[in-house]
A and B are shown apart, each in its own frame.
Chain A
Amino acid sequence: MARFSPECAVVLLEHLDTPVTRFLLSLPPLSRLFEAQKKEESSFTTEDAVLASVGIVKCSPDNGLLVSESMFLALEELIQACCAEDEGVPIIMVCGPKSIGKSTFNRYLINLLLNHLPSVEYMECDIGQTEFTPPGCVSLSHVTEPFLGPPFTHQHTPHKMVYYGQTSCEQDTERYIDVVKYVFNSYKKEVPLVINTMGWVKGEGLLLLTDMIRLLSPTHVVQMDVYDWKAMAPLTPEYVHLAPGLYTKGKQQAKSKQMNLSAAESWKSSEGDEDTSVPDYKLLYIHPEFPRAGVAVHSSILRDMSILGYLGQLQPPDIGSVLPLHSFVPYQVPFNAVALRVIHTDVAPTNIMYAVNASWVGLCRIPDEIRCQTDGPVLLTQTPVCDCLGFGIVRGVEMEKKLYHVLTPVPPENLRLVNCLLLGNIAIPNCVLVSQEGIEGEIPYVTSEYNYNILGSGKLKKKKRFKKREYTYQCDYT
């Protein structure tokens, strides 16, 4: 080692072969996941070829992670704040439009912090692109080791997690705020906290972000934007002090309610003295130079991947090969021992098992005792904000014996605490259902006869804006 100068970097390459990766590679659409992308030019020297065979290729300099001046300054300041031993630990909130590089920045920051500190807390509020958990969750994690790969390579159990049940929060911002509050309450303020927020910064999204800043009272807000303040106005303490939120009011607003919702009221009761002073945090602006951060792979694919990464934990650790999901022995639990709730969709109670069967469920714990005089299922009338201990697939619903059969990597010590199943709008990745092998006959929910070319067969397309005609349409038909 003495022969290496300080500028040298030693890279240890290990063959990536874990139960999770083996599981991922066993699914047909992912079988080439780790193969290098084809390179156009073939100007390899021999050494390059050796490196290329293990996936290391030369990239042009602008493909790398570029630390811009503003990012460097922000990092320096944040590290200093985190290492300083004076009053309180920093709470760092990172925000900015989607695909700007929030996650990249978070990783870089946390990995750097871990050079100085034994651990950092990470609060995930971006339910669409979660770092450590399957999608649709708000969670609080203890990070002790640097994380480098994409989210599906480092799924781990956070110490607090709530299943929101959807990958965007537009439809129920009220519950989203409740969930964020609930998770944040378990933060002990002993180690620095990095909060990741959603890329929804327009319209209501900005109002929600304003609420979040008021609610979580960060010490530092990192705002990322490509062009100076183009996507959103600077979230200075003064701005946040005056600006209206979705559920909170700005300083100058009249007392008349802007929203007649219970959350707004409960908010007021819990944070009684909201209007006293300007929030006290430092705003750090970052102009990132990550080329096309977060756009290389479609976000829905990344979500599916993190679910698959999570399910990969079911694979036994020491067998060199992959067992298909449906071959595992499931857990079973009686209908009346766990409460059930479908989030975000109204399902007729008589038909609820049609929604539950072969679906992705959050395995949760509510403080209430499940009491039920019959042996039928227990349906909740409200969606609880409660701890989520993990996830599973309802492998089958046994109507006669009134049992749910559940596949889950949640360890039995935790599973025994689960008394509530939450069913969100997040689906098992299609490839899990489609690529079940060794099945004779039809696979439920899988068909090759559904024709997407027939009008109306597709889903609602989101907010597609059509150009208005600027000239009269030239009609070609005569």
Chain B
Amino acid sequence: MAGGRQWLSGTRRWLKPLRTVVAWRGRAEWDQVMVGLYCGDGRLQQEALDRVSAWKSRYGPKMPLAVDCTAELIRCKVLDSSGRLRSHELILSYGLALVRFVNLITERKQKMVSIPLRQLAIEVDIPIWVVDLRHELTHGKLPRLALCRKGCDVVLDWLRKTYWSRQLGNNLCEESEEEEEEEEEEQEAMEANTELDNDTWEVQTPQHEACQKHKEFHEKVRDVLISYKDEQFRVMQTVQSVSKSRELWSNSSSEVDWILAQIKDLMQENRETVAEVLLSDGFLIPTVDCLKMLNIKYEANKEVWQFRIPQTFYCFWQPLLTGLLSRSFTQTLIDKMFMKLKECSDSSELRPQFLINWISEMLTSIARVNSGKKRRRGNKRVYVKELFLQKVPLQWIRLTENCLEAPCWATPHLLQLILTSMRPRLPRSSRKNLLYLTSIYTEGGGPLSSPGLLSNYSEQPIYTIESLQWRARQENQVKNEGQAAENQEDVLEKDDGLEEVEEEEEEMVTETNHLEGLAHSDNVVAIAEKKAALQGSAWQITGDEIQWKDFPLGKLPGQTDDPDGLMLDNYSMMSLLDQPVRDEWKSPNTNSAELNIPVTGGLLWTQNDFHKIKSGLQLF
């Protein structure tokens, strides 16, 4: 099994988040806009706003709220400092921008049942007086300009601290202003560190002392977990009904929060031990008494639960698990579960059953969260909360190894769950083969085998038209060449399914080898044809020596990352005669650009006059 150190570097690699599309070409452009918006210089602010207008076009309806709100507020400030508006008009502008900010930002935090704006504002650290200001603006007397200005400044500052400074991995924000996410990250970093420390520490300290310390720690974790159990049972007793208590459990109380905080504290010291205690009897693996108390019937038949943890038991532990399952702890816990499963895979007690079901629950929940799907449970009446709230990248290869090291009747199922969530995916053929092999290996063996579930994989290979065609081709070839016939036949009979996949891959390889040459010659012909068809038009195609494949969309050979690289200093405006005139862009600084309106020389009417006349015409 991989040691802690390797694991750590592995985690780093897998933690790479998803790539998304944004409106700025690169970091330089983002930084330029952020600095521009917040610099206080009217001209630079206007330039930044102009760039944001292009972002808005790129994003369409997906424009980030915070960028939109910031731009609206900065626009007010620019208008204000230009001295073109009077105070009443300014109040209206500021007012709308502020109302939009408070509403839009807090709405994101709304739940199904509406929460008062004030409460939401407290949650996200927006000063209450700003909420009151919004209320005045919409329902009361218009506030004074000074208050609007102050509100605008405070809100812009809030946006800078909560959005701009933290986005794109910027760590410009002050230490005291960290919020949950960063705390979490830090906590993870600390967890990782403690692990390293543990390794070194254990080497240095005498054995028995370490043992003693470990025991004490173990006890501490146990105590806290027992207090969690007690609390959950207490809640259950207050309502005297299992279904009611499920609901109550899912709304975590301050008591549970406190317990969670304690465990998290312990986890920073030693994550592994916390996982170990969780998996000792009486916690995630229930005792028979425990099941009785929760009114859960234990079924010796393992298929009855269909890889699910009984719902009541799930609800009992869900708040705790959801609280604890950070990225790294998830990995630790599942790894530990597989290890425990390995130790007990041939017994037929509660333990393997629950281990398998917990692993299955966690993996399916991860799959759902990672693919952004919602939970679907058979029983729709009961609202069941997810174990995971955020995507959890895991070390999938390591999980696969651990899974294979604990073979039991359920391995094909668990393996399949891992393989489907695994990113990057294994090649299809490997996945298929691995599943075949596992099901063959686990099919006959042990008291835990469950043939009913394996029929999926152990069936005869399925012949497709392609595989038959391929086979026919192969046979022809063999006949023609008259060599190695026995060998070929042998291979074919072994496993057609596997062969087919491999063959496909071979084909791909040879194709790509041919590809470059083929594509090239093809290209030359196609380009020549296109060139001829475009003769005399403004559109051209050049077959010149540019290696386009080296340049991503949006970037041309020789183009730098200069954020000002696409600025225009010269353009002309053109209006159309036969087209309706509607909200056109009125350039505020026409002096910087040339303005030619073609075809208008000498006309007595303006475009608008012309349209009025036109629309007034009655054609019969």
Contacts and interface: CB of A to CB of B under 8 A. Distances in A.
Contacts of A396: 551, 553-556, 559
Interface string B570-583: 11111111111111
A348 B53 contact: yes
A33 interface: no
B253 interface: yes
Given A42-B456, A425-B57, A366 B540 contact: no
Interface residues of A, number: 133
Main secondary structure on A side of the interface with B = loop
A399 B104 CA distance: 38
A347 B57 contact: yes
B571 A349 contact: yes
B61 interface: yes
Most buried by B among A13, A338, A443: A443
A370 B596 CA distance: 12
A447 B550 contact: no
Nearest to A53: B462
Contacts of B54: 347-348, 351-352, 354-355
A426 B23 CA distance: 13
Contacts of A334: 538
Contact of B162 (A174, A336, A454): A454
B526 interface: yes
Given A331-B541, A381-B574, A456 B19 contact: no
Interface in B504-553: 508, 511-512, 515, 518-519, 522-523, 526-527, 529-530, 533-534, 536-543, 546, 548-553
Interface stretch (A58-66, A202-210, A237-245, A463-471): A463-471
A439 B552 contact: yes
Nearest to A354: B54
Nearest to A417: B537
B16 A416 contact: no
Contact of A446 (B20, B50, B529, B576): B20
B579 A460 contact: no
A433 B568 CA distance: 25
Contacts of A149: none
A328 interface: yes
Interface string A446-462: 11111111111111111
A458 B163 CA distance: 11
B416 to A, nearest CB: 9
B552 to A, nearest CB: 4
A191 interface: no
B124 A455 contact: yes
Contacts of B471: none
A380 B579 CA distance: 11
Contacts of B611: 262
Contacts of A476: 251, 253-254
B522 A319 contact: yes
Nearest to B599: A371
A459 B63 contact: yes
A180 interface: no
A20 interface: no
Given A325-B553, A367-B578, A456 B585 contact: no
B554 A358 contact: yes
Contacts of B104: 460
Interface stretch (A4-12, A251-259, A405-413): A405-413
B167 to A, nearest CB: 6
A276 interface: no
B25 A445 contact: yes
A399 B565 CA distance: 8
Nearest to B549: A327
B207 interface: no
Contact of B577 (A332, A368, A430): A368
Contacts, number: 396
A324 B615 contact: no
Contact of A460 (B19, B65, B462): B65
B1 interface: no
Interface string A314-353: 0010111101111111111110111100100111111111
Interface string B117-142: 00000001000000000000000000
B508 to A, nearest CB: 8
Interface stretch (B83-91, B107-115, B278-286, B433-441): B107-115
Interface stretch (A118-126, A225-233, A263-271, A277-285): A263-271
Q: Max chain A CB contacts within 10 Å: which of B108, B512, B548, B594?
A: B548
B212 interface: no
A150 interface: no
Interface string A365-389: 0111011111011111111110000
A329 B543 contact: yes
Given A329-B548, A423-B57, A379 B573 contact: yes
A323 B21 contact: no
A329 B527 CA distance: 8
A170 B406 CA distance: 58
16 contacts: A52-B462, A269-B615, A345-B57, A348-B585, A350-B567, A372-B572, A373-B572, A381-B575, A382-B576, A412-B530, A412-B541, A418-B539, A448-B16, A456-B67, A459-B65, A473-B113
4 closest A-B pairs by beta carbon, nearest first, are A456-B66, A358-B554, A337-B538, A348-B50
Interface of B: 16-27, 49-51, 53-69, 104-105, 107-110, 112-116, 124, 159, 162-163, 166-169, 181, 251, 253-254, 390, 455-456, 459-460, 462-466, 508, 511-512, 515, 518-519, 522-523, 526-527, 529-530, 533-534, 536-543, 546, 548-556, 559, 561, 565-585, 587, 592-594, 596, 598-599, 607, 611, 615-620
